[in-house]
A and B are shown apart, each in its own frame.
Chain A
């Protein structure tokens, strides 16, 4: 079966711009979580969506937002990009939560 699909794989943006990343979970998975991964901070939780509702949010500024659609696909948006937003953004989907996430390959965002 198809895995978690994230698009685009790579992205270069300029400071001050905004960006939207997309994630399609495994078919049947209703929980989608987003993480930011940087060399210095490791994997940090951004937010989780379940059935179009944000269930949980990490400690990130309001510039980071997301949503989930009725087909469970999710998008995250970062506005007013800063250099420090350069990172690998990983999306993960889960069926029940006890089986662990399945991660997508990520979107590598570079802010210049």
Chain B
């Protein structure tokens, strides 16, 4: 089967660092994506990992361990505008097509002053 787990909600303080975890079990693996979605808006692409390790992009970093079926998204120097849902998505290897993603339910992050 295919399963992606991430915490439902998290809270953090402006200026702090927060780590959002994602664990997955899928039929093969061909990449993991993180998306940000503000309420009432479309998801926007944040990062893509296909090999183990850390990918850094400004205040956002994403880590992947394929052997553990684990990823995290690290947000540094939190700003109020970072309050949003963060979606972890996996592209299974044998999806029968190249662009089918399996999404987790999302983590709702609230940043407080």
Contacts and interface: CB of A to CB of B under 8 A. Distances in A.
Chain A facing B: main interface SS: strand
Contact of B103 (A44, A56, A98, A104): A44
Interface residues of A, number: 24
A101 B101 contact: yes
Interface string A74-108: 00000000000000001000100111111111100
A19 B48 CA distance: 34
A64 to B, nearest CB: 15
Contacts, number: 65
Interface of A: 31, 33, 35, 42-45, 48, 50, 55-56, 58, 90, 94, 97-106
Interface of B: 31, 33, 35, 41-45, 48, 50, 87, 89, 91, 95-106
A42 B99 contact: no
Contacts of B41: 105
A102 to B, nearest CB: 7
Given A55-B96, A100-B48, 15 more contacts: A42-B106, A43-B43, A43-B101, A45-B100, A55-B98, A56-B95, A94-B99, A97-B91, A97-B98, A99-B45, A100-B45, A101-B101, A103-B43, A104-B42, A106-B42
